[in-house]
């Protein structure tokens, strides 16, 4: 049986979830955002996400004999709880992490395969070691959520550039005693 994490971490479903996290969208709006995905594939993944209660239909409108559906996130379904994460094996965590890294790697490769201009485009990566106590970690976490949260609802437009922010936290390994 496929785990919740495996189900959510499928590359096409991840893209759909990321876009619906900004707010409800029709299939045509989703198709604009994930234009590299064939429409039949998009519908198949929307049906799977709906069947597994990750998303749901918030509105149906008849347009020229067809039904246009608007989808939204089921907010409680896309997150892996701390308890669920704690119950995953090392191998399951590594599989999820490799899926995540592979997805990011594919996006970076697609960027470099395009017409890139590193002088004017927003692109970069770095690693920064932080030494934080629990209170400082909580303050950093809340500050990042406040800073980034105001941009999450933004929708695509002629005046906005899409930038993918990848966040990864890796604690220092504990030494065995």
pLDDT at 132: 94
pLDDT at 133: 95
Sheet strands side by side (includes 66-73): 25-26, 66-73, 55-63
pLDDT at 1: 56
CB 65 within 8 A of CB 35: no
- Given CA atoms 12, 13, 18, 20 in this order, what sign does their dihedral have? positive
Report, as an integer, the average pLDDT of 126-133: 92
If pLDDT is split at 50, 70 and 90, which confidence band does 2 have? low
CB 45 within 8 A of CB 64: no
**Residues 46-99: pLDDT tens digits?**
999 999 888 999 998 988 888 899 999 887 665 677 787 888 888 888 888 887
If pLDDT is split at 50, 70 and 90, which confidence band does 134 have? very high
Identify the helix (H) or strand (E) that includes residue 90.
helix 90-113
- Rounded Cα distance between 128 and 140, Å, is 14
Report, as an integer, the average pLDDT of 5-11: 76
No. of H helices and E strands in the chain? Answer: 7, 3
């Amino acid at each position: 049986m496929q785990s919740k994490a495996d189900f959510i971490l499928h590359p096409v479903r991840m893209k759909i979830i990321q876009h619906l996290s900004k707010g409800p969208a029709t299939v045509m709006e989703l198709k604009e955002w994930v234009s590299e995905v064939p429409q039949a594939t998009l519908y198949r993944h929307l049906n799977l996400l709906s069947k597994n209660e990750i998303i749901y239909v918030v509105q149906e409108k008849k347009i020229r004999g067809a039904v246009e559906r608007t989808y939204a996130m089921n907010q409680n379904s896309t997150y892996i709880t701390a308890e669920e994460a704690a119950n995953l094996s090392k191998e399951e965590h590594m599989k999820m992490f490799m899926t995540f890294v592979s997805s990011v790697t594919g996006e970076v490769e697609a960027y470099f395969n395009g017409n890139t201009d590193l002088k004017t485009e927003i692109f970069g990566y770095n690693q920064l070691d932080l030494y934080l106590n629990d209170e400082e970690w909580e303050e950093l976490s809340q500050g990042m959520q406040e800073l980034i949260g105001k941009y999450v609802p933004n929708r695509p437009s002629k005046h906005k550039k899409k930038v993918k922010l990848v966040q990864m936290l890796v604690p220092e390994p504990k030494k065995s005693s």
